[in-house]
Structure formats: structure tokens, C-alpha cells
Amino acid sequence: METTMKPTYIKRKRNGQISIKAGSKSERGIRWTIILFVVLTIAAFMFFDYTGLELWSAIIETGQNLKVMFFQPALNHFTWAEALYQVGVTLGLAVLATVIGSVIAFFLALMAATNLTKEWITKFVRVIVAFIRAVPTVLWVLIFAIAAGLGSEAAVLGMLFHSIAYLVKAFSEAFEEVDKGILEALKATGSGWWHVVTHGVLPSTFTYLLSWTFLRFEINFSVAVAMGAAAGAGGIGFELFMASGFYFDLREVGFITYAILLIAIILEVFSTRLKNRYFPSSMSK
Amino acid sequence: MSEKVMQKRKWQTTIALVIIIAITYLSAAITNFNFIDGLAAFPTAIGWMFSHLLITQESLEKLPAILGKLNETIFMSIAATTTAAVVSIFLSLMGSKTTSVNGFLSMFARLIASVSRNIPVVAWALILLLSFGQNSITGYLALFVGTVGFLTRAFMESIDEASHSAVEALTATGATYFHIVNKAVLPQSLPQMISWILFMIETNIRSATLVGILTGTGIGYTFDMYYKSMNYNVVALITFSIVIAVIIIELISNYIRKVMM
């Protein structure tokens, strides 16, 4: 038989050529993942609900809408001062959720760091955080809106959940990278757990914590816009929702979009600088 | 660390804290946020959740319909992410320092990415809703645009990080641009890129809920309907099914990451 003639350690193609692609496990993994993506994408387009869609006219209309929005922005239903105030409200919601979230996350992260706490507590905190992260923020806000009543309290409480989940992960990873020697030295002097945290862990991670908090603030700004639009939390997001959903005023939508874009870009420039300064390799995941 | 440096650091820290506290108070004033009310509302809210958000036998009857909508939402986010990834690969190749063709194209790619990323998904959804109407395509396009912006930035970072020396080596052998991209840049940054795509699929399922509430599609719309008719048992059921779906997808993508790396 022909197969007995072939040494088993050389892979050949069907026509006898030596295969030059070895195909490690990771390569096969990548190939299968891509195939999976393609299959799922094709399936998705077949599942879609196409009711009332006229693609070409919709695309042309969207093009015209975008033109009006971006080239003729104007304010009709409120003044510049009010617009500024609404942006302030959105920024305020983002600040509150970030600051309160970071304080709570700090304590939870201490419990979630493996080098500071017992293992079962760590696991417990992590499972809870994973659960919180899986619920979309808008659902948290809507649930709190019935449970705690409407108002900024419900919005901030709802936004807090995701901020805490995100920051606990980031903070606890920062804590775990604290030099083991520092902790050991402090323990050797007989200092308690709390002393270890305030004099060993906190000083060496403080700048990281601040920059992670700022990165989260950038995310929270767009979350706050979204909550204004979808959960009635007020601010510029709510105005956007009113302008497009009730007044159908594209020029106002354009103005609001520009305002949001401006602030988002300012925040992004800041956070990119922070990232380059404190996290030279990309750690943003 | 000398004492002077420590002193200076202490001052910086104190000033930073004072500024943060001041900004927090200002924000509370603007948004009419009351710390004590917020604190008091929290236990009542949690108590309310445990007493009202219960899955009952009656609500379980709605499960097939909910799962159908959830399915639609998951497929929508996957399709939006994968098609956005294809566009992002081209944009990031144009925009990245290692593989850029010329300065103008690079600027162009970065501008597109920045605009589509920094205008929130909500704004895209509302804009597209005006002419596309209530169907899956509206949500799909809103997610698509936001994802293109995010993935382009992520891909540019992975390309710059992964393939600098390989590109230099291939350039030295006289390889063409197409060869360089195909044989050095893509193979080296592909695992990283897939990891980002998986991350984005998870994120998009959560955003899809939000977009669904605004555009009246998928699981978000179902949630909104039962929420507004105050049928909280079904609301709880929907929330739990989203949580389970997100966690399953997270586990699958962790597994894929482990196999790839």
C-alpha cells in the first residue's frame, strides 16, 4: 500500500506534495472561529425582521438627514444657556456615578484581590460582579426608576452598578500587581490588614486608580447620554430623544450631536494621554 | 524615595482629592442629586426588587416568545460586529502607522473612526430610526457604526503592537504592500483582533438592548413593552434570560481565547 511508504511525520497533500502549512492548535482555533463568525453572520441576515424596509429610499433619506444635521445645525426649542445646562446635567450624572462608584469599587476590589483576601471571598465578589456586568445598564436604570422613583437618584444608582463592576475588575488587577515584598515587609512589622492597605497598597497604586477612574468617566459620559434618551434620566440625551422623536427637528438633532461629539472627543484626548502615560502596553480590556 | 518627593506627592494627592470632591458637589447641585435620598433609596429599591422581580409560572409561558426576540438580538449584535470588523480591518490598515499608504488616507480613516465612535450609539439609533423605521436593520446599522469606530482604534493598536519588526523584515526582502499585509500584518495581529471582536460581541448584546428600546426591535422592545404595562414578572424573566445569554457568550469567548492564544 502507498500509505506505508510515507513517513508519518511528514504531512503531505493529496497529490503527494509536502504540506508547508503545519497548522498548530491555535491556527486551527482561529480558522474555526472565523468560519463560525461567517456562518453566524449569514444566518443573522436570514433571521432579520425586514418589515417596512425600503432600503434604497431609506439610505437616500438618511443621507439627506445627515446633510441637514451636520451642515445646518441650529437650536429651536431651547437656548444656548439651556443647552449648556443640559450638557452639565449629563456630565454631572457621569461624575456622580464615577466618583461614588470608584469609592465603593475600591473597597470591593480590596475584597476581590487574591493577595489581600481569602479565596472564597474573592470568588464570591467576582461572581456577583460578573452577574452585575451581564445586566445592561439601561435595565438597571429602568428597574431603579420604579424601585426608587424617578429622578437623578435612580439614574445614578443604575449607572453605579456597571461602574462598580468595571472598576472592581481594574482595581483588583492593579492591587494584585503590588510588589509582594512590600506586603511581606509590612506584615513582618506587625501591622494589621488595614495598615497594609493604607501604607502599602494605596500609595503604590493610587495613580493607576485615578487613571482607571477617569477612563471609566469617559465611558460614563456616553452611558449618561444613553440613559437620558432611553430611561428619561434628563440631560442632553433626553433633549436628543425629544428633538428626534417628538419634534422631528433634524437641525436641532445636529446641534446636540455636535455638542456630544465635542465633549466626547475632549474626554478621549485626555484619556489617550493618560493611557500612554500610565499604561504603555494596551491594558484597556 | 526622598522625603521631599513624598511631601510633594502628598500635596498633589490632597489637591486632587479636594478638586474631585468639589466637582462631585457641583454635579450633585446641577443634577438635584441628594446623597441621603440616594442612600435611603438603595435598601428600599433592593427590597422592592426581591419582592417584585420574581419569575412566576404565568410569566414562564412567555418564555418562547422572549427567547425568539433574544435570538434576534444576539444575531443582530454578532452580524453588526463581524461586518463592522471587516470594514475596520481596511480602515485600520489605512490608519495604522506601520501600514499606512499615505498621510491623507490615514487621516481620513482616523477621522471616520473618531466620529463614528464618539457619537453615542443612541444618537445613531435615533437618527437612523427616522428613515429606516422599526426593523432589525435600524438596530443593526446603529450598532455597526459604533462598532466600526471602536474596532478600528483597537485594530490599529494591535497592528502597531504586533507586527512592526515583521513588516520591516518583509520590506527588506522587497515584498509588495499586499504581501506584507497578507503574510506579516494579518497573521500576527489576528488573534488579538479576534479577541477584540469577541469582546465587542458581548458589549453589543448589552447595547442592542438599549438600541432595541429606542428603535422598537428585539429584546429591548419586549422589555419596554412589559415594563410599561408593569408586568414585572416578565420583566424579571427577560432580565434573567439576558444575563444568562451574556454569561454563556462570555464563557464561549473565554474558551475561544484560550484555544487561540
Q: How far apart are CA A43 and CA A46, in angstroms?
A: 5
Chain B contact for A131 (CB, 8 A cutoff): yes
Cβ atoms of residues B189 and B155 within 8 Å: yes
User: Each residue of A3-15: pLDDT tens digit?
Assistant: 555 555 666 777 8
Q: How many CA within 13 A on the CB side of residue A89? A: 24
Residue at A112: amino acid letter? A
Q: What is the pLDDT of residue B151?
A: 93
Nearest Cα of chain A lies from the Cα of B117 at a distance, in angstroms, of 9
**Average confidence (pLDDT) over A177-197:** 84
* Per-residue confidence band for A283, with pLDDT thresholds at 50, 70 and 90: very low
Q: Has this prediction a pTM greater than 0.90? A: no
Q: Does position A21 have pLDDT exceeding 80, yes or no? A: no
The sign of the torsion formed by the CA atoms of B211, B215, B219, B221 equals positive
**Average confidence (pLDDT) over A37-61:** 81
**Average confidence (pLDDT) over A258-276:** 86
* Per-residue confidence band for B147, with pLDDT thresholds at 50, 70 and 90: very high
> Inter-chain contact A134–B242, Cβ cutoff 8 Å?
yes
Q: How far apart are CA B31 and CA A87, in angstroms?
A: 11
Give how many domains chain B has, as a whole number: 2
User: Each residue of A205-231: pLDDT tens digit?
Assistant: 888 888 888 888 988 998 899 888 887
* Contacts with A156 from chain B: Cβ below 8 Å: 31, 33, 38
- Dig out the grid coordinates for B158 from the structure: 494591535
**Average confidence (pLDDT) over A233-255:** 84
- Dig out the grid coordinates for A173 from the structure: 488587577
> Inter-chain contact B24–A157, Cβ cutoff 8 Å?
no
Nearest Cα of chain A lies from the Cα of B24 at a distance, in angstroms, of 6
The reply to whether B88 and B110 lie within a common domain is yes
> Inter-chain contact A137–B206, Cβ cutoff 8 Å?
yes
Torsion angle of the four alpha carbons A90, A94, A96, A97, in this order, in degrees rounded to the nearest 10: 130
User: Each residue of B50-91: pLDDT tens digit?
Assistant: 887 777 777 788 888 888 888 888 999 999 999 999 999 999
The reply to whether B40 and B106 lie within a common domain is no
Q: Does position A53 have pLDDT exceeding 80, yes or no? A: no
- CA-closest candidate to residue B142, choices B84, B72, B103, B96: B84
Q: Does position A280 have pLDDT exceeding 60, yes or no? A: no
| Separation in Å, CA A140 to CA A18, A155, A227, A230, B125 | 58, 9, 10, 12, 20
Residues constituting chain A: 285
Question: Which residues, other chains included, contact B246 with Cβ-Cβ below 8 Å and sequence gap of 6+?
Answer: A133, A134, B202, B205, B206
The reply to whether B138 and B39 lie within a common domain is no
* Comma-separated ranges of CATH 1.10.3720.10 domains in chain A: 73-284
* Per-residue confidence band for A282, with pLDDT thresholds at 50, 70 and 90: very low
**Could you tell me the CATH number of the domain that includes residue B244?**
1.10.3720.10
Q: What is the pLDDT of residue A1?
A: 46
The reply to whether B33 and B131 lie within a common domain is no
Chain B contact for A69 (CB, 8 A cutoff): yes
Q: What is the pLDDT of residue A155?
A: 85
- Dig out the grid coordinates for A220 from the structure: 460614563
> Inter-chain contact A53–B28, Cβ cutoff 8 Å?
no
| Separation in Å, CA A60 to CA A57, B99, B131, B147, B213 | 5, 34, 9, 22, 25
Burial of A189 (0-12, 13-18, 19+ CB in 10 A): exposed
- CA-closest candidate to residue A260, choices A84, A72, A82: A84
Chain B contact for A80 (CB, 8 A cutoff): no
> Inter-chain contact A92–B34, Cβ cutoff 8 Å?
no
For residue A129, give the H/E element and its range: helix A119-134
How far from chain centre, in Å, is Cα A19? 43
- Dig out the grid coordinates for B258 from the structure: 484560550
Q: Which of residues 233-272 of A touch B (CB under 8 A)?
A: 234-235, 237, 240-241, 244-245, 248, 250, 253, 256-257, 260-261, 264-265, 268
Number of residue pairs across A and B with CB atoms under 8 Å? 235
| Separation in Å, CA B29 to CA A226, B17, B26, B167 | 21, 18, 5, 54
The reply to whether B70 and B121 lie within a common domain is yes
The domain in which residue B165 lies consists of 60-260
| Separation in Å, CA B22 to CA A87, A96, B17, B28, B108 | 18, 11, 9, 10, 40
- CA-closest candidate to residue B238, choices B215, B219, B252: B219
The reply to whether B38 and B90 lie within a common domain is no
Out of B42, B119, B132, closest to residue A157 by CB: B42
What is this model's ipTM?
Answer: 0.82
Residue owning grid cell 503590588: A178
Cβ atoms of residues B136 and B219 within 8 Å: no
Residue at A19: amino acid letter? S
- CA-closest candidate to residue A216, choices A154, A133, A127: A133
- CA-closest candidate to residue A238, choices B122, B261, B49: B122
**Helix, coil or strand: residue B89:** helix
Distance separating the N- and C-terminal Cα atoms of chain B: 39
Q: What is the pLDDT of residue B2?
A: 67
Chain B contact for A103 (CB, 8 A cutoff): no
- Dig out the grid coordinates for B178 from the structure: 499586499
Q: Which of residues 106-125 of A touch B (CB under 8 A)?
A: none
Chain B contact for A30 (CB, 8 A cutoff): yes
| Separation in Å, CA B147 to CA A126, B80, B206, B256 | 28, 8, 13, 21
* Per-residue confidence band for A22, with pLDDT thresholds at 50, 70 and 90: low
Q: Does position A285 have pLDDT exceeding 50, yes or no? A: no
> Inter-chain contact A134–B191, Cβ cutoff 8 Å?
no
Q: Does position A98 have pLDDT exceeding 90, yes or no? A: yes
Out of B126, B199, B227, closest to residue A241 by CB: B126
**Average confidence (pLDDT) over B225-234:** 86
Q: Which CATH number fits domain A73-284: 3.40.50.720, 2.60.120.380, 1.10.3720.10, 1.10.10.10?
A: 1.10.3720.10
Q: Is A248 left (phi over 0), alpha (psi -120 to 50) or beta?
A: left
* Contacts with B48 from chain A: Cβ below 8 Å: 146-148
% of chain B beyond a pLDDT of 70: 99
Count Cβ atoms below 10 Å from residue B176 Cβ, excluding itself: 10
The reply to whether B42 and B146 lie within a common domain is no
Q: Does position A62 have pLDDT exceeding 70, yes or no? A: yes
* Per-residue confidence band for B33, with pLDDT thresholds at 50, 70 and 90: confident
Q: What is the pLDDT of residue A7?
A: 52
* Contacts with B8 from chain A: Cβ below 8 Å: none
Which residues are registered as beta bridge partners of A18?
A: A12
Q: How far apart are CA A162 and CA A145, in angstroms?
A: 16
The DSSP secondary-structure symbol of A19 reads P
Cβ atoms of residues A186 and A195 within 8 Å: yes
Nearest Cα of chain A lies from the Cα of B118 at a distance, in angstroms, of 6
Q: How far apart are CA B108 and CA B86, in angstroms?
A: 17
Q: Does position A2 have pLDDT exceeding 60, yes or no? A: no
Nearest Cα of chain B lies from the Cα of A111 at a distance, in angstroms, of 21
Among chain B residues, the shortest Cα distance to A220 is held by: B120
Least confident piece of the model among A2-11, A33-42, A107-116: A2-11
Q: Which of residues 196-215 of B touch A (CB under 8 A)?
A: 197, 199, 206-207, 209-210, 213-214
